[in-house]
A = this chain, B = another copy of it.
Amino acid sequence: MNQQVDTRTRILDIAEAAVLDKGFEATSIDEIVAGAEISRGGFFYHFKDKNALARAMLERYIATEDALYDDLFARARELNDDPLHCMLIGLKLLAEMLEEMPTGHPGCVIASTAYQDRLFDEGVRELNRQAILGWRKRFRGMFEEIAQVYEPREPVNMDALGDMVSGVVEGGLVLQRALREHNNASEQIMLFRTFLKLLFAPRQQPV
């Protein structure tokens, strides 16, 4: 039982690294099998097909990402209790984190599966969808909290603003991959941060 968990996890680890590096389609089962030092039969014992692998990977990714956000904004909250400043600190931490992990951000996988969706089954697509909807809800909640304290300077759709966090990260990662630069995603987040600062700037209330 323990050995099973180990092998399964090992497969996921190796697949994860390969997929982040090369993309899902470019990662062959033979390669994973060789990396994990198991037989092809062993692979199919754990995952009925490549879709099942994709599903398991996505589930892990999303859980990791959620935990990361939880941790990030919890740390930000410790540093400042104000919802706006907490958000700004959290985004700063996120930007720094993205600069440190060169290619390996889970977000990749969302975009990657979104653009090859016909290769995946409904389960994978639905996981993808739920992940983004989850982030929308999370950030919309935070922005609504901010808006109660700082009235937005321009009217904004809060769902769209929540989506913008994911969108800016995804878009930044696309740029980063295509340009072969390494800090585009973090720069995009810093610009989004500037947007929030301006959007929720206090209305000429001097200190």
Contact = CB atoms under 8 A, between A and B. Distances in A.
A17 interface: no
Contacts of A156: 191, 194
Contacts of A175: 132, 163, 166-167, 170
Contacts of A51: none
B160 A188 contact: yes
Contacts of A190: 160
Nearest to A198: B198
Chain A, interface size category, equals 35 or more
Nearest to A172: B167
Nearest to A167: B171
Copy number in this complex?
Answer: 2
A26 B115 contact: no
Identify whether the interface residues of A are mostly helix, strand, loop, or mixed. Answer: helix
A22 B169 CA distance: 24
Contacts of A161: 191
Contacts of A12: none
A114 B177 contact: yes
Interface in A18-51: 22-23, 25-26
Contacts of A157: 187, 191
A22, A125, A160 pick with most chain B CB within 10 angstroms: A160
Given A153-B198, A177-B117, A198-B154, A188 B170 contact: no
A82 to B, nearest CB: 19
Given A23-B119, A167-B172, 15 more contacts: A23-B115, A23-B118, A110-B174, A132-B175, A132-B178, A153-B198, A154-B194, A157-B187, A160-B190, A163-B175, A169-B171, A171-B171, A194-B199, A195-B195, A195-B198
By Cβ-Cβ distance, the 4 closest A-B pairs, closest first, are A171-B171, A167-B171, A198-B198, A26-B118
